[in-house]
Amino acid sequence: MRAQSYQAALAIANELCAGGSPFCLLHVHMRRNRQLSVLLGFAAVEQLLEGIEARIGKTLRPNDRVLRTGDSDFLIVLPGLLNTAHGELAAQRITREFEQPVAVGGRLITPLLTIGLCAFPDHGLNADVLLRGAAAAVDQALQAGRRIAIAAPFSDDVLLIDELRDALANNELAVAFQPLVSLRERGVVAVEALARWRSPQRGVIAPQRFVELAEQAGLAPELTRWSINASLREFAQLRELAPSLRCSINLSPKVFTLSGLVEQVSAALAIWGVPAKALVLEVTETAVMEDPEYSAIALNRLSDAGIRIAIDDFGQGYSSFTYLKHFPATELKIDQLFVTPMMRDPRAAQLVRAMVDLAHHLDMVAVAEGVEDALVLEALVAMGCDIAQGYHLGRPVDRATLAAVLR
């Protein structure tokens, strides 16, 4: 019977989706079902749930529908409601209605209801997605200790994570290389390896997005392993053209708690015949701050193995100086946030100057990221910055294209 109600709710919602007009969907969950069943008996709780259904019905408009879809669950379809604000009013009417107890077998019971809310089309374009969204909102409300929660905006991250897992397993990601130019010698002294993902179905997915997804899904170790191996494999070919070239690889946050990181990196260097001193591992402060103690140990071991460490995106975040004190970094990469607007923002320029000096006082190499024009480049030279990177000097390109530049 409940399965049928669920199918009925799906059918009603799908029909409304097909109609195209906005509507809201509520998932009402009664808490403590099992507890009440133990205390009062199953028959009494069944009676209570029938009472609840009837009482919910009283708060609704003639075209609204309430359906009992689970042991402690109801779905309510509210046609014509424009957005979640309207849906929330309907949900509040229900919770208010149940501030008064319900009589069950000579006792008065106050049902504790939690309501998840979603709206078409904001949270999904078909009934299946909407019903799941409303159910997820119930979980969110329960976790947050709230009576009503609105579903998160429509997202298919779950599917995208599966696609990323496949892409990693099938080696569908690619490496792009961006040149780093020495401001003294005016030549390419290093390249930064950047992961790129072009999904056959979705097109290019921004690195920020898939790195974040990988972290959420616990795929950071796989992504790091892939990135170190693929980058070094291709870099080994570039090094044949320029033997003193270095390669920077970004280490994804959360990877420091990974056991065997140092061994993995050393093994990859050995396999691709790249000397440790040609490798720069870029780490961000967020990565290091996840677990500062473990990170310090891992970074010191990498550094002892002859690998260089760069602090990436310097200036973003909160605790920059703490790790400058503790971590064995040899390069400071000044975030593009400060570098790109240097010529129109004097404060940004002064901050870049201060960061270049800071790097030098710590015997570190100063690298400016996000150099987008010639004037910024000149200003950096005048400040004594060591290395620059940015669209003005070269965009990230595939290995063959970069090899042509090196030749």
Per CB under 6 A, residues contacting ligand G are 178, 194, 207, 250, 312-313, 336, 369-372, 390-391, 396
Q: How far is the CB of 301 from ligand G (least distance, A)?
A: 23
How many Cβ atoms are within 10 Å of 297's Cβ, its own excluded? 13
Selection from ligand G, Mn ion, none that 10 binds (CB < 5 to 8 A by kind) is none
Q: What are phi and psi of 291, to 5 degrees?
A: -155, 80
What is the DSSP-derived secondary structure letter of residue 188? E
Closest separation in Å from C-beta 345 to ligand G: 15
Q: How far is the CB of 48 from Mn ion (least distance, A)?
A: 59
Phi-psi region of 218 (alpha: psi -120 to 50; beta: other; left: phi over 0): left
Residue closer to ligand G by CB (options 77, 175) is 175
- Which letter does DSSP use for residue 387 in this model? E
Of 162, 158, 36, 156, the C-alpha closest to 107 is 36
Nearer to Mn ion, 22 or 253 (CB): 253
207 contact, one of Mn ion, ligand G, none, CB 5-8 Å limit per kind? ligand G
**Residue 239 near residue 274 (C-beta atoms within 8 A):** yes
Residue 313's binding partner out of ligand G, Mn ion, none, with CB under 5 to 8 Å set by partner kind: ligand G
- Residue 369 binding: pick among ligand G, Mn ion, none (C-beta 5-8 Å cut-off by kind): ligand G
* Shorter beta-carbon distance to ligand G: residue 55 or 392: 392
Measured distance CA(69)–CA(74) in Å, rounded = 5
DSSP for 101-136 reads: -EEETTEEE---EEEEEEEETTT-SSHHHHHHHHHH
Q: How far apart are CA 126 and CA 187, in angstroms?
A: 56
Q: At its nearest, how many Å lie between ligand G and the CB of residue 370?
A: 4
Of these partners, ligand G, Mn ion, none, which one is at the site of residue 154 (CB under 5 to 8 Å by kind)?
none
- Closest approach of Cβ 313 to ligand G, in Å? 5
Return the number of the residue (16 or 247) whose C-beta is nearest Mn ion: 247
Q: Which residues bind Mn ion (CB under 5 A)?
A: 250, 282, 312
Closest approach of ligand G to the CB of residue 310, in Å: 10
Nearer to ligand G, 285 or 312 (CB): 312
Q: Which is nearer to ligand G, 163 or 335 (CB)?
A: 335
Nearer to ligand G, 73 or 369 (CB): 369
Q: How far is the CB of 287 from ligand G (least distance, A)?
A: 11
Question: By Cβ distance, which residue is nearest to ligand G?
Answer: 390
Contacted entry of ligand G, Mn ion, none for residue 372, CB cut-off 5 to 8 Å set by kind: ligand G
Query: Count of alpha carbons within 13 Å of 34, Cβ hemisphere only?
Result: 0
- Furthest-apart CA atoms within the chain: distance in Å: 90
Give kind and range of the element (H or E) at residue 334. strand 331-334
Which among ligand G, Mn ion, none contacts residue 390 (Cβ within 5 to 8 A by kind)? ligand G
Beta strands 246-250 and 203-205: pairing type? unpaired
**From the CB of 208, what's the least distance to ligand G, in Å?**
8
**Partner whose footprint covers residue 227, from ligand G, Mn ion, none (CB < 5 to 8 Å by kind):** none
Q: One-letter amino acid identity for 383?
A: M
Our CB check for ligand G shows the closer of 122 and 312 to be 312
Question: Which 3 state secondary structure label does DSSP give 165?
Answer: helix
What are the Cα distances from residue 87, in Å, to 6, 28, 61, 148, 277?
A: 20, 12, 12, 10, 61
Q: In angstroms, what is the minimal distance from the CB of 334 to ligand G? A: 10
Which is nearer to ligand G, 46 or 373 (by Cβ)? 373
Instruction: Give, as one character, the DSSP assignment of residue 198.
Output: E
Please confirm whether the linkage preceding 328 is cis (ω < 30° from 0): no
With CB under 5 to 8 Å by kind, the binding choice for 370 among ligand G, Mn ion, none is: ligand G
Q: Element (H or E) spanning 249, and its range?
A: strand 246-250
